[in-house]
Amino acid sequence: MKKNILITGGAGYIGSHIAERINTNKYNIIIYDNLVTGRKKLINKKATFVKGDIKNLKQLSNTIKKNDISLIIHLAAYLNIAEAEKKKGKYFKNNVGGTLNLVKACENSGVKSIIFSSSCSVYGNINGAVKEKHKLKPKSYYAFTKFKSEKIIEKYSSKYNYNYAILRYFNVAGASPSGKIGEIESSHGHLIKNLAIQYYKKNPRVNIYGNDYNTKDGTCIRDYIHVTDLANIHIKALKKISSNKKSLILNCGYGKGYSVKEIVNIFKKIKKNVKVYKQNRRKGDVAQIYSDITRLKKVLKWRPKFNNIKFILKSSINWEKNEN
């Protein structure tokens, strides 16, 4: 008998890639999204779509019970780091309040497993590779909402009888090799997405935010993971916590950091006549962070398939062709 999976934020960038990778011979997919940042064009054609908001507890509870949901992948959240600093109430209500609604909606339901999309930003400013056991010191308000949401997922797991996997994303980038789905939202300041947009400009320009960090070339260092590899991690994690009844916290990256300048230089080999502009640092950005994925590989027996930074960039450029 098929199990029913609810994906909150399933009409978004990461959610659409997860839905693409789910075996629909074994699972029914229910997408729950308010379409504020999600898009109808990204909704998987084999999924059932419910237009709903995680801030609406009653609607969320009804959706879970009506569709007999047993597995949840919780992605719905506001993501803009700069906006979060200016609109803290909005981000707390949606990201933290929405997560609290989600776990409350699991009461007296058949939900047994929850995957939560967290962020490496909960670690704060780390000088090098970071393990899951590292103390959490979120610097930005966005990171704080992820930190608080993690605690909610953990706190209510015994009360509402579910297992969980908290996945701490590093920098997600690229687009599906199928070319059918990719990242639409460009306001989050994601470097590779913005480079893909500039590829189709007559006079491409790139902003580098801060060149005075304590790093090898003065620019921020990040660990980029292809979105399809990340999607596969979700599916493996869901199977793991569903079968062994134990909860997990895992880093999701490749374990290697690239500086902004390194990424821009790779882009300049693909696209000529790129003008680079140095800007002030963005509030909330940390100097460098990349993952230690020893635990990820050991627990899930996961291995990356698309861990080539040039491929990640080119897949994003290929998707952007659909947007132009």
Q: Which residues are catalytic?
A: 142
**Between the CA atoms of 297, 300, 305 and 310, what dihedral angle is there, to the nearest 10 degrees?**
-60
Radius of gyration of the CA atoms of the chain, in A? 19
Report which of 135, 97, 99, 137 is spatially closest to residue 115, judged by C-alpha positions. Answer: 99
The rounded distance, in Å, linking the Cα atoms of 283 and 290 is 19
CB 157 within 8 A of CB 247: yes
Strand partners, 166: 116, 249
Do β-strands 48-51 and 171-173 pair in parallel, antiparallel, or remain unpaired? unpaired
Q: What is the DSSP letter of 53?
A: -
The rounded distance, in Å, linking the Cα atoms of 211 and 245 is 46
